[in-house]
Amino acid sequence: MGQPRIANLFPTSLFLLGLYRALTAPLPVLPRSEVTFLAPVTRPDKVVCVGMNYVDHCKEQNVPVPKEPIIFSKFASSIVGPYDAVVLPPESQEVDWEVELAVVIGKKGKHIKATDAMAHVAGFTVAHDVSARDWQMRRNGKQWLLGKTFDTFCPLGPALVTKDSIADPHNLKICCRVNGEVVQSSNTSQMVFKTEELIAWVSQFVTLYPGDVILTGTPPGVGVFRKPPVFLKKGDEVQCEIEELGSIINKVV
């Protein structure tokens, strides 16, 4: 075969030169005010939530630890970004905070064994399970759904952290602050049912799809069980933080 002609090499050389310039050029820097951070997941097929899933949260309420996971749901329309505002609905006077570890599904499955569950996990993120306690605990026949699923009641973020980036998702410090004051402080080791058990349990009833989100419960320190109860008001700022995952901050409006 003959030697390659210069004309054949020239386009490749231009491409490589352009690639080099692109890789070595200074990265563009945008002001924070010009950037909108979206939730890592915006329209999942389902948002599954778990109640009473921290031992210390059960003690806070003086109730027994559940023998089976307590499952409820939020509508996907409640999801907002990590720094978006939480809007107080006029229908509720008792809006409360809840920091939670959220599991994001990465692989479709049904009837998943606990031993295989982590193979179906894409990663983890921080969730703020905002809750209207009047609707959760007294209205709507005490069904939890309406109290949990108002618009903006599910901030997620700041990023999806892949499972291989976390040594142990069940040994992470978890914290919530309201206006800078620590109101919840615990560890995911307090979870009654771990990620694998929750995936196995939920997948008995529904098929889990990539992008589905499982909120794994909240530790003690929520407003409704304080004496007297404390609820969010306009102007409050809620920061939910989990070790290795980061924090999300939501202004209440």
> Hey, what amino acid is at 113?
K
**Distance (Å, rounded) from C-alpha 186 to C-alpha 235?**
26
Tokens of 75: 């509508």
User: 32, 126, 136: which is closest to 80 by C-alpha?
Assistant: 126
Q: Domain map of the chain by residue range?
A: 39-252
Topology, domain 39-252 = Fumarylacetoacetate hydrolase; domain 2 (3.90.850)
Average confidence score pLDDT of the chain: 93
Cβ within 8 Å of residue 67, ≥6 positions away: none
Say which residue the tokens 């206006």 belong to: 179
CB atoms within 10 A of CB 138: 11
Which range is least confidently modeled, 2-6, 98-102, 106-110?
A: 2-6
Query: Around 21, how many Cα atoms within 13 Å sit in the side-chain half-sphere?
Result: 6
- Please give the share of the chain, as a percent, with pLDDT higher than 90: 81
Please tell me the predicted confidence (pLDDT) of residue 137. Answer: 87
Give the model's pLDDT for residue 12.
63
Cβ(38)–Cβ(81) under 8 Å? yes
84-87 contact pairs (CB < 8 A, 24+): 84/152, 84/155, 84/250, 85/152, 85/250, 85/251, 85/252, 85/253, 86/128, 86/130, 86/152, 86/153, 86/155, 86/232, 86/238, 86/250, 86/251, 86/252, 86/253, 87/150, 87/151, 87/152, 87/253
Give mean pLDDT, residues 117-143: 94
pLDDT at 35: 87
Taking CA atoms, 183 is separated from 74, 93, 112, 175, 190, in Å, by 23, 20, 36, 8, 17
Q: What token pair was written down for 71?
A: 């499952």
Nearest CA among 245, 253, 252 for reference residue 40: 245
- Per-residue pLDDT tens for 8-43? 545 566 777 777 887 788 877 888 788 899 999 999
Torsional sign, CA 41, 42, 43, 49? positive
Range in 50-64, 115-129, 173-187 the model is least confident about: 50-64
Percent above pLDDT 70 for the chain: 95
Q: With the C-alpha atoms ordered 91, 125, 83, 218, is the resulting torsion angle positive or negative?
A: positive
Are the CB atoms for 86 and 132 separated by under 8 Å? no
